[in-house]
Amino acid sequence: MDTEKIGDVRIVRLQGRLGEVSAPQFEDRMKEMIEEGEVLFVVDLGGLEYISSAGLRSILSTAKELKKLDGLLFLSDLRGPVKEVFEISHFVDIFRIFGSVQEALEAMPR
Amino acid sequence: MAETVRSAAKIDQLERILEFVRSCAARAGFSGRRIIDLELAVEEAMVNICRYAYTEHSGEVEVACLQEPGGILRIEIVDRGRPFNLLNAEKPVFECDIGRQQLGGLGIHIIRNMVDDIRYRREGDKNRLTLVLHDRKQNSPSTPDPAGPGR
């Protein structure tokens, strides 16, 4: 995963797989950034090929943490199997999901 | 033709098991997308076994891939842990708010949506979970009830 800061928003780009083995690393990295004071995130899933329930939980658990801090976590560019897993888990109903990072950034409060 | 892999029921063995089912499905001519469905179902089933099957001692899990005519792959996952019929697991409750949505219960829901059929049998001290996948996704059993009483 790589990250980039645009204005007040931290963009997190995920690649490859977010499953039982990799999800804890993502969650730990997100926790670190939150502890450093970051509260606005766009997590770009365009490069993600695979997500399991462990991956979903790591994103949800991060979003729950941010919600307590009045932060935001938007998602962008869900594709293929990742989109399908979000749909069957009804995560598309609880997250704000955008077609691109740019669209997600435009929806962030200024 | 059946191929089998046996390993400790530990999360650190998960990648090896997934590599095994991935190569079985590729040899059976499954599409990349359907292979991901298979990997998802097997990951969720394996994680359940690694976490909950053996509570007092470590144990093993055996995964077999059987190719059947008509583009069908049957995966048999056997452990000797405590009895667990995932077909009886309660469906997760879906909330419309991040704060209220519970973290648990999604794995079994994902399995149900990825495979065409799920069967469970307790055989002596073994749990045998059978996952059946067609190389093209059929009407996915998103609201299945294949576990009638008395099975």
A56 CB near a chain B CB, below 8 Å? yes
- Given A50, A88, A94, which is nearest B101 (Cβ)? A94
Check whether A48 has a pLDDT greater than 90: yes
Find residues 103-132 of chain B whose CB sits inside 8 Å of chain A: 103-104, 106-107, 109-110, 113
Q: What CATH number has the domain bearing residue A15? A: 3.30.750.24
- B11, B92, B96 ranked by CB distance to A20: nearest: B11
Q: Domains of chain B, with CATH numbers?
A: 2-134 (3.30.565.10)
What are the residues facing B68 on neighbouring strands?
Answer: B72
ipTM of the complex: 0.93
- Which of B98, B97, B106 minimizes the C-alpha distance to A65? B98
- What are the per-10-residue average pLDDT scores of chain B (151 residues)? 92 96 96 96 97 90 96 97 93 92 93 97 97 78 42 33
Per the CB < 8 Å rule, is A50 touching B106? no
Largest CA-CA distance found in chain A, in angstroms, rounded:
36
Number of domains in chain A: 1
Which domain covers residue A101, as residue numbers?
2-107
